[in-house]
């Protein structure tokens, strides 16, 4: 999953050094990743085909060829987005664009290294051109985030930068330059940004770095006329290449991070960059704006409040919410933060695909609810629970946060740990009911496949998640290597008592896969609470069998195994308790009705138990 995150950035898909490994990874692992990650990777691949500035002579043919080769690496059944699916079908049906059968097709499909390209174009002929290429390679290496640079390395790094700039100046005088020169300037800016984040810089070095970054902050790249598209209205946007003004924005914020006071020149630059026409530049300021709090808190609030009112890109509004949500709910500015976050919500109201911005607000409202007992926050959260389809992203985030609090109970000044556990259980139970109501009576059958899949998952997702969570909350009993030991029975009984409301909800889940998983959980708590467990199993089978649960041999075999165990270990309970006896009879009759070979002997054994 972590490797998959890298592939959401077009640079890893495009660069010759990582292209082959990325293609291999796509072929081997793409299908195993969740739908959200696959969607982001597909968007990055499509972006590769649009980023012409990174290909020789801005070749649209080269960009689209790489894009198509990467798409061809994806298993067709695992593709999520309509755009990528349409392209995949077009590639596979085209006689002229046979997709590579292995990742080597990516390497051998006409894409050459930067050095080979420059050599073919006659741009590595003079000694200066060769030296410039070598220096650029060194500049890039030094600028890598994991490069172990210290303050002692600064003189040598400055020397390399000076040599590179001299070679670049000579090349500019000798011949026409285009993207190559601009890229070199961007790479130098990126290195200065990296240097600004080094601890223990001398005052002189810090001043030099700051001055150079301020110069880069006035660079014309990225150009304001570049078409951004809608990428910045989606989660996790990205950009490609080294562009001076973007690198300068990150670098200046790194400078602020390491100093106690900054002058008007830096303040003016940040002020301007925060309103820059390019979203990646604004992103650099917003994501690092918390560094302003120590040297100039008033300026921090000025920048943030201006972005709250002026920002139009959803991804950057999400960044604003994340910055504000990072404050403690007991912060002196808590009410101010709440007002700003609610203002962002007002501004995105009615915007398409804005759910991920509201998702970022969930942690803020939950903290106010838990730490302050804030009723408006409770109302906001309750609205999410009661609207599982319309606010799917927000609900899953709320469930995720409650899952964490239920697994690690805590207390606050407002609530005891037991009270918070009770509230969490109530939230999950209400969410299950809302999801079940949405599912019940609707024509969802078959929609778990193909084009109906996103709609299906929005309807059933909360139920699926809550069943999985309940199994995990029962102390990992859903997948043990062997049944619980008797010494653990007291702990299991306590967990069952605590989470009984959720267990009862999960015992009505109609989804076959989740029913199977929960039946596995129930079989391991049955020695501790045998009566209740059999009644829950009966409820589970009745609910899920209508939707194909018992049509699967795995579900059938597991149920037979559980019933065999009951007949052996709980014979007295079957004889003495009418409700248990009725549940067992119903389950066995269901097995017989489906003509399972093992069901007949079980029914005979039950009658023998009663006669004895």
pLDDT of res. 567: 86
Check: CB of residue 27 under 8 Å from CB of residue 73.
yes
Has residue 380 got a pLDDT over 90?
A: yes
Domain ranges of the chain: 2-111, 121-224+231-309
Check: CB of residue 325 under 8 Å from CB of residue 360.
yes
Share of residues in the chain with pLDDT > 90 (%): 50
The 10 Å Cβ neighbour count of residue 506 is: 28
Has residue 97 got a pLDDT over 70?
A: no
| Lowest model confidence (mean pLDDT) among 231-240, 385-394, 413-422, 470-479 | 470-479
Check: CB of residue 160 under 8 Å from CB of residue 135.
yes
Check: CB of residue 185 under 8 Å from CB of residue 177.
no
Distance CA 135, CA 140 (A): 9
For residue 478, name the pLDDT band (cuts at 50, 70, 90): very low
- For 522, residues 6+ apart whose C-beta sits below 8 A from its C-beta are 507, 533, 536, 537, 540, 562
Average pLDDT over residues 218-238: 77
The residue whose two tokens read 């061809």 is 72
Average pLDDT over residues 541-555: 82
Has residue 98 got a pLDDT over 60?
A: no
pLDDT of res. 420: 96
pTM of the entire predicted model:
0.78
Average pLDDT over residues 75-94: 81
The three-class DSSP label of residue 321 is: helix
Distance CA 320, CA 252 (A): 19
Distance CA 150, CA 198 (A): 6
Highest mean pLDDT among 478-487, 514-523, 555-564, 603-612: 514-523
Has residue 479 got a pLDDT over 50?
A: no
The three-class DSSP label of residue 75 is: coil
Write the pLDDT tens digit of every residue in 398-438: 999 999 999 889 999 999 999 999 999 999 999 999 999 98
């Amino acid at each position: 999953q972590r490797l998959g995150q890298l592939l959401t950035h077009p640079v890893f898909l495009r660069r010759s050094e990582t292209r082959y490994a990325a293609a291999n990874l796509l072929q081997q692992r793409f299908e195993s990743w969740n739908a959200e990650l696959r969607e982001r990777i597909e968007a990055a691949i499509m972006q590769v085909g649009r980023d012409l500035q990174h290909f020789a002579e801005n070749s649209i043919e080269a960009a689209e060829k790489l894009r198509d080769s990467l798409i061809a690496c994806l298993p067709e059944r695992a593709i999520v987005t309509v755009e990528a699916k349409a392209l995949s079908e077009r590639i596979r049906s085209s006689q002229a664009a046979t997709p590579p059968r292995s990742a080597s097709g990516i390497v051998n499909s006409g894409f050459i290294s930067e050095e080979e390209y420059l050599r073919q174009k006659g741009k590595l002929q003079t000694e200066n051109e060769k030296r410039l290429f070598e220096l650029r390679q060194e500049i890039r290496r030094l600028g890598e985030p994991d490069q172990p640079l210290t303050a002692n390395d600064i003189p040598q790094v400055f020397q390399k930068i000076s040599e590179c700039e001299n070679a670049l100046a000579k090349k500019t005088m000798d011949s026409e330059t285009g993207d190559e020169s601009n890229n070199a300037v961007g790479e130098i800016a990126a290195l200065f940004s990296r240097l600004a984040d080094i601890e223990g810089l001398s005052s002189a070095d810090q001043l030099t770095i700051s001055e150079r970054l301020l110069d880069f902050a006035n660079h014309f790249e990225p150009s304001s006329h570049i078409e951004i598209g809608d990428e910045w209205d989606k989660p996790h946007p990205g950009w490609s290449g080294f562009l001076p003004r973007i690198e300068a924005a990150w670098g200046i914020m790194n400078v602020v991070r390491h100093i106690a006071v900054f002058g008007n020149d830096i303040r003016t630059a940040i002020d301007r960059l925060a309103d820059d026409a390019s979203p990646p530049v604004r992103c650099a300021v917003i994501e690092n704006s918390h560094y302003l709090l120590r040297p100039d808190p008033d300026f921090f609030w000025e920048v943030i409040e201006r972005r709250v009112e002026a920002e139009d890109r959803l991804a950057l509004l999400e960044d604003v919410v994340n910055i504000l949500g990072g404050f403690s709910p007991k912060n002196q500015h808590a009410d101010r933060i709440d007002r700003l976050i609610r203002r962002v919500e007002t501004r995105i109201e009615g915007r398409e695909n804005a759910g991920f911005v509201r998702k970022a607000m969930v942690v803020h409202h939950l903290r106010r609810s838990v730490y302050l007992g804030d009723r408006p926050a409770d109302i906001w959260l309750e609205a999410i629970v009661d609207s599982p389809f319309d606010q799917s992203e927000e609900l899953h985030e709320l469930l995720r946060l409650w899952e964490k609090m239920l697994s690690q109970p805590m207390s606050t000044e407002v609530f005891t740990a037991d009270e918070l556990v009770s509230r969490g259980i109530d939230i999950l139970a209400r969410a299950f009911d809302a999801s079940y109501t949405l599912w019940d009576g609707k024509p969802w059958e078959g929609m778990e496949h193909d084009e109906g899949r996103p709609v299906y998952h929005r309807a059933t997702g909360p139920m699926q998640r809550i069943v999985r969570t309940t199994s995990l909350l029962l102390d990992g009993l859903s997948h043990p290597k062997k049944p619980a030991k008797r010494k653990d029975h007291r702990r299991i009984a306590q967990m069952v008592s605590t989470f009984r409301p959720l267990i009862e909800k999960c015992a009505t889940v109609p989804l076959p896969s989740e029913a199977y998983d929960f039946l596995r959980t129930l079989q391991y708590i049955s020695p501790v609470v045998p009566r209740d467990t059999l009644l829950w199993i009966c409820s589970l089978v009745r609910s899920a069998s209508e939707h194909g649960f018992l049509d699967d041999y795995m579900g059938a075999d597991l149920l037979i195994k559980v019933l065999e165990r009951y007949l052996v270990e709980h014979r007295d309970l079957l004889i003495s308790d009418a409700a248990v006896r009725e549940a067992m009879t119903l389950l066995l009759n269901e097995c017989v009705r489906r003509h399972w070979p093992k069901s007949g002997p079980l029914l005979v054994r039950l009658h023998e138990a009663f006669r004895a």
